[in-house]
Amino acid sequence: MADGLSKDKKSSLKMLPSFVRSTPTGKESGDYLALDIGGTNFRVLRCSLNDGQIQTNAEVYPMSSEVMTGTGRDLFAFIADCIKSFLQKYDIKGSNIPLGFTFSFPCTQHSLNRATLITWTKGFTASGVEGEEVVQLLQNALAERCPDFKVNVAAIVNDTVGTLMASAYENPKSVIGLIIGTGTNACYMEQLDAVEKWTGDRDDPKQVIINIEWGSFGDHGHLDNIRTGFDREIDEHSLNRGKNTFEKMISGMYLGEVVRLAALLLVKDGALFNGNAGDKFNIRESFETRYVSEIVGENGAANAREILKDKFGIDASESDVDTIVKLCNAASVRAGRLAATGIAAILLKINETKDRIVAVDGSVYKKHPTFAKIMSDTLSELIPGNTISWVLADDGSGVGAAMVAAVTKV
Ligand code: GLC
């Protein structure tokens, strides 16, 4: 992390200054629009902040893989069309309503509302966006597709930053924003003195939220001693080869695939499914992370049996079911322990191990029944006696962008 904050040392952690310098006071108020892109859905929200209360209207627009992997022009046209239909549905007229844009990819931030995409992650590859100024692309698409609506993009933020900000609105003890979803990443408030590469002013408040982009930890070989053949295979078949090593061991886009590849090795050895997994189980990414969540929870064995039968046409024996449950648990424990190790490293760096909050959002954290416990147990092993609480910032990645817009206004 220290290398990433320096001017010229190399680091696999990008440590990106977010330009967000203060957390909310809880007194912010007003109406804001928020956009949230970064997983499998695009969302538009209207957030009303009123003295510590947040009210939201939100619409979810599923994104096809064609949109994610086509041209940037089509991607931003899709976004603009969704915004248009949202504005119509909620009868929001072309006003100057401030908009916060959660764009959950690594970006070099030039100011609070200007950011350049460094590289796509998580299965996005839309052409002509890397190296470009994202707010400009949004504004161009809006000008073309809903010209009546005058946007005022007040802020573009990473989902981790949004999560920390949304949580801080309700609880000032929040110090870290964490996402365990399609991808994984964390951010934290850093003292400007520690950010050698910071080029902005050094006035008060002498702090800035840093988007770590921890997903790419390991890209320089630091995780090689614990990577498995399954991890290497996932990487080889991914759209961002050689990148986001840590993320590929933890997040929802990959967790089910880790289990599937481990299971296939046992099948090959004749130790699972009588040595024959059938066609469906052999399809890449067919074992989705949501199945892992169903299998590690209550009634896990029964769920495993049902999923194997219904989704894969496999009549599993007792011992097959037992093995699948064990594999799902093992992959989950590994993921949770790795994420918690990252959190421990941040807490030790900022010297905050007592009475602080880690704000968490993301589909895996919300749906996986044991992930939260695995992380907190691991943190207790790594930092005995810590009194850190893990708090779900539900919808933090959406509401947070509105919060940043609000804090800027105040
Ligand atoms: C990926 C993105 C990162 C984001 C994370 C969680 O790692 O690069 O910006 O925060 O996913 O969505």
Tell me the C-alpha distance between 325 and 309, whole Å.
15
Q: Tell me the CA distances in angstroms from 259 to 230, 236, 251, 374, 410, one per residue in order.
A: 9, 16, 13, 17, 48
Q: Where are the domains of the chain?
A: 1-18+173-393, 19-157
Residue keyed to tokens 């206004």: 409
DSSP 71: B
Look at residue 95 in the predicted model and tell me its pLDDT. 67
Report how far ligand 1's centroid is from the alpha carbon of 68 (Å): 15
- SS3 assignment, position 185: strand
Residue 241 alpha carbon to ligand 1 centre in Å:
16
Provide the pLDDT for residue 150: 79
pLDDT computed for residue 231 by the predictor:
98
Q: pLDDT tens, 80-135?
A: 999 999 999 999 876 678 999 999 999 999 999 999 999 999 999 999 999 999 99
**Residues paired with 389 in a beta bridge:** 357
Cα–Cα distances in Å, from 216 out to 133, 221, 324, 406? 22, 11, 29, 31
**CATH architecture for the domain at 1-18+173-393:** 3-Layer(aba) Sandwich (3.40)
Q: What is the DSSP letter of 128?
A: T
Q: What is the CATH number of domain 19-157?
A: 3.30.420.40
Nearest-atom number in ligand 1 for the CA of 121 is 8
Task: Classify the phi-psi angles of 305: left when phi > 0, otherwise alpha if psi is within -120 to 50, otherwise beta.
Answer: alpha
User: What's the CA gap between 183 and 105, in Å, rounded?
Assistant: 10
The list of the chain residues with pLDDT below 70 reads 94-95, 409-410
Looking at residue 361, its pLDDT comes to 96
Phi and psi angles of residue 17, each rounded to the nearest 5 degrees, phi first: -65, 130
Pocket test of ligand 1: the residue of 13, 104, 176 to mutate, having most ligand atoms within 8 Å of its CB, is 104
Position 39 scores a pLDDT of 84
Active-site residue set: 43, 104, 159
pLDDT of residue 410: 46
Pick the residue whose CA is nearest to atom 11 on ligand 1.
183
